[in-house]
Amino acid sequence: MSKKPYKWAAAGDVNAFFGLMLDNVADLLLMVGLLVGVFQFPQAFALNYMVPGTAVGVMVGDLLFFIMAFQTAKRTNRSDITAMPLGLDTPSTFGMVFFVLGPAFIAAKASGMSPDEAAKHTWHIGICSIFLSGIFKCVCAVASPWVRKMTPRAGLLGSLVAIALVLISFMPSVEMLHLPIVGMVALAIILTTLVARIPLPFKIPGALASLLIAGGLYYLMAFFNLVDVDDMAPAPTATGVPTEWLEVFQFRWVSAMGDAMMYLPVVIPFALATVIGGIDCTESAAASGDEFDTGKVIGVEAFATLVASVCGGVIQTTPYIGHPAYKAMGGRAAYTLATALFVGVVGLTGLFEYFYFWIPKSTVFPILIFIGLEITSQSFQATPNRHFPALGFACIPALAVLAYSFADRVMGDQGIELADLNNPILREQIMTLRLLQNGFIVTSLLWASALAALIDRRLVAAAVYFAICGGCAAVGIIHSPYPDGSTFLIWNLDREFLDLVLRYTIAYLLVAVMLVGLSRTVRVASPNSLSE
């Protein structure tokens, strides 16, 4: 067989670059914007200490995936391999800000530290948290090929659909429509060019056109005072290349390892979710024709996270589930190389501060919506028709994320705790939403896998998945009763939550026992007898 030369750069890499680059920029904007806007974190500190190291993690990871694309093309003798994309993990961006960095900053100020001292202590805790996350993912990389082999495609892709619809499509939609005129114009251009694949005049890339046209509209509205001042970031104050972050190599952050341990029950579930997401991504890429080595994919994710941490980063990296979208754009490997260089340069030279000021968020988020839609479409196309109910079933825990997140923010704004609600039915419903949304990625994977096994009449396999659910519920990997989703040992659990946890654990184990008993009376279908 003759060797096919790998066509590592193609016209589609331009659109793919803007998609992946804007995705990462959007997460950096979220990180800084939430820290500054919600917790009054010092803006200059976030930009000069946290952004550079976080950007380095993305740069290293995408460079490694660029190299892996060449290796995969050589191994499979294919010329159209699309490199696996890597970037900042969106769920972790929210999780780290709201459950680690934000609370650590508030606690440090409450202990008597000045805002700058508290910010540095928070940075150290963030570094330690991401370092521990990277170590955990290195261990998981060994077992990841086995997990992928044993889990049904509907389970792996079902959790992707849940993430795609909720975190990647819906949440950005809410932010985008904060400025509906700008947001809808940007979204319309993205949908026209990238979903309907209608070319623009002069073959202008859709993502670039969206940014330029919607951005121009934003500044036209700003000129006529039609944009709220609150929608605009503070003017940049950078005077040169940031060097403050280099302090990380003095390794003073190691002294905060003890304080970071208290956030480990929050950090580890997010790390586990990215490992599962990485396995999902590998399966999704395989479904679109690109077969990557699962262990190497998770290994790159783990290494990039470790590099980010020792360079001062505070958000973990992960393979992006947008591989099918970038392949549909016609991307090959050049887009990951371009993204690595762009994000690295912008993060290390201080240019990101200008992006933070000049790029309206409503022009960036539509690309995330497209990626979510493409992932959803690809997941259904790559799954047997008979397993479609499993994909839908996987979305239920994700819907709880939507419902709970807004209810929780309303209560937080009013200074209300769940126990303060007078209506016991409402109190119980919101607690149920909290239980369902905590660990929802793992829940989605296990629920979809169990239903796929049931559809295939593999009752014992379904029982195993429900038993695993019971074990996960018993330690808080799923259905944690704590607001931050932290894990626990059942004998250390607060008495007020013990009854809830036991009920969920027993429920899953009871279902598992029931299915094992039922399996003795049901004829197991052979794979050939199952219809699509």
Radius of gyration in angstroms for the set of CA atoms belonging to the chain, rounded to a whole number: 23
Question: How far is the CA of 106 from the CAs of 49, 216, 247, 264, 265, in angstroms?
Answer: 18, 38, 23, 18, 19
Q: What is the pLDDT of residue 205?
A: 79
Q: What is the pLDDT of residue 524?
A: 60
- Band (pLDDT 50/70/90 cuts) for residue 155 is confident
pLDDT mean across residues, the chain? 87
Question: What pLDDT digit, counting tens, does each position of 159-189 carry?
Answer: 778 877 877 788 888 888 989 999 999 999 9
Does the structure show a pLDDT above 90 at 33? no
Closest by CA to 307, choosing from 148, 46, 86, is 86
Question: What pLDDT digit, counting tens, does each position of 266-322 carry?
Answer: 787 678 778 887 888 888 888 888 989 988 999 999 999 999 999 999 999 989 877
For the chain, give every domain's residue range.
Answer: 13-76+91-125+164-261+290-383
Q: From CA 54, how far away is CA 86, in angstroms rounded?
A: 13
Q: From CA 98, how far away is CA 113, in angstroms rounded?
A: 20
Higher pLDDT: 514 or 355? It is: 514
Mean pLDDT to the nearest integer, 93-109? 86
Of 248-257, 288-297, 364-373, minimum mean pLDDT range: 364-373
Residue type, 54: T
Strand partners, 281: none
Q: From CA 289, how far away is CA 404, in angstroms rounded?
A: 37
Q: What is the pLDDT of residue 379?
A: 79
Q: What is the pLDDT of residue 340?
A: 97
pLDDT above 70 covers a percentage of the chain that reads: 95
Residues near 17 by beta carbon (within 8 Å), at least 6 away in sequence: 331, 334, 335, 338, 339, 342
Q: What is the pLDDT of residue 417?
A: 84
Does the structure show a pLDDT above 80 at 10? yes
- Band (pLDDT 50/70/90 cuts) for residue 525 is low
Mean pLDDT to the nearest integer, 323-352? 92
E strand spans, 40-90: 86-88
Q: What is the pLDDT of residue 273?
A: 74
Residue type, 214: A
Check: pTM over 0.85? Answer yes or no: no
Closest by CA to 33, choosing from 47, 18, 52, 15, is 47
Mean pLDDT to the nearest integer, 452-479? 95
Longest CA–CA span in the chain (Å) reads 75
Angle subtended at Cα 212 by Cα 319 and Cα 344, rounded to the nearest 5 degrees: 40
Q: Do the beta carbons of residue 480 and residue 438 sit within 8 Å? A: yes
Mean pLDDT to the nearest integer, 367-395? 85
Task: State how far Cα 519 lies from the chain centre.
Answer: 37
Q: What is the pLDDT of residue 339?
A: 96
Best mean pLDDT range from 242-251, 279-288, 348-357, 437-446: 242-251
- Kindly give the pairing relationship between strand 317-319 and strand 86-88: antiparallel
Does the structure show a pLDDT above 70 at 236? no
Q: What is the pLDDT of residue 237?
A: 62
- Band (pLDDT 50/70/90 cuts) for residue 496 is confident
- Band (pLDDT 50/70/90 cuts) for residue 151 is confident
